[in-house]
A = this chain, B = another copy of it.
């Protein structure tokens, strides 16, 4: 799975990790900690977990972070950690969206690698600024479009690339939830429906971007124009909670994308269906160990993670044998493993050819997508080119 030297480096010295955001009661911070812990390639040693000092202190204690490395602000943390000989090598940014770029800039400028939640920025311009800083810094920047860590999505990508479907014609992507069906309020919900903290997209930035990233990852197609009909169904909600999008890709493929947070009976139903001239694929995140594959004119095959018919791209990120289901955290952890190896390679000054984690390019592309969709919808639902 890994180059021997890289593996040895990580076994001897796990990556020293810090976290910004992710205090008590936050969902995604815990997810990053599990993802980092699973393979024992990281040790969480510092954090600015919350803007609330009491929460920050308590969260650090719960995470086993020493009191003197529990910071009150990310600026302070970046500075102090950069100055320590045993300072963090990487930071995980799990704040609301509006802080992604400022925090990332602070750590990159301090020479620290960054693992950042999506969407990467509040708007395209900010994302492009960040991209320039990433390039300048030479540091690793990984964006946790975690669903691309699932083995069977890797398998799907490999099959498309190998021509198993022929030329792609149609893409159907969905991300369907129901948790915001009512006018719900919680730590999780509130920033997501506040344009100042979430950006111009609600469901669009929160989940449609995942679907867009997944379809781009699998097909490799470039989206040319988008037409969006964004709606906020819950009265008083300022950001969209239901998104209907039509897609047109370079080369003639077309697609539909539905993202919603108001569809009762759906939990986290990200799915992707891809159809080409000679075959079709179907993958569903809630049962991620399966991939349906149909060569046109033949019976559908059920490919399983770890089972017959999966190739090296999926096997590389497979831990347990077929039938021993892997889930969300394993997929997420695959991104973390990949980044750890990249960091170890950087330590050793060697190349790392296998990188498959999402990068700032994915982040910029996601913002392009969000901005075009928002513009399309504001103009009444018209075909809109992706800029930039």
State the A residues within 8 Å of B (CB): 7-8, 10-12, 14, 27, 30-31, 33-34, 37-40, 44, 61-64, 165, 169-170, 172, 177-179, 181-182, 227, 229, 231, 233, 242, 244, 246, 248, 254-256, 258, 260, 262-269, 273, 275-282, 285-289, 292-304, 306-309, 319-330, 380-383
Given known contacts A296-B181, A299-B302, A321-B27, A380 and B380 CB-to-CB distance under 8 angstroms: no
B-side contacts of A299, CB under 8 Å: 293, 301-304, 307-309
Of chain B, the residue at the smallest CB distance from A27 is B321
Cα separation A182 to B296 with both chains bound (whole Å): 9
Q: Does B242 lie within 8 Å of A169, measured CB to CB?
A: yes
What is the oligomeric copy number? 4
| A-B pairs, 8 with minimum CB distance | A267-B323, A268-B323, A265-B294, A327-B327, A264-B280, A325-B327, A265-B280, A324-B328
Q: Which of B12, B37, B170, B326 contacts A328 (CB 8 A)?
A: B326
Of chain B, the residue at the smallest CB distance from A255 is B244
Q: Which of B227, B308, B330 contacts A298 (CB 8 A)?
A: B308
Q: Which of B260, B262, B323, B329 contacts A266 (CB 8 A)?
A: B323
Q: Does B64 lie within 8 Å of A14, measured CB to CB?
A: yes
B-side contacts of A30, CB under 8 Å: 319
Given known contacts A182-B296, A254-B244, A260 and B325 CB-to-CB distance under 8 angstroms: no
Given known contacts A268-B321, A325-B287, A309 and B298 CB-to-CB distance under 8 angstroms: yes
B-side contacts of A179, CB under 8 Å: 321
Of chain B, the residue at the smallest CB distance from A64 is B11
Q: Does B280 lie within 8 Å of A31, measured CB to CB?
A: no
B-side contacts of A258, CB under 8 Å: 172, 256
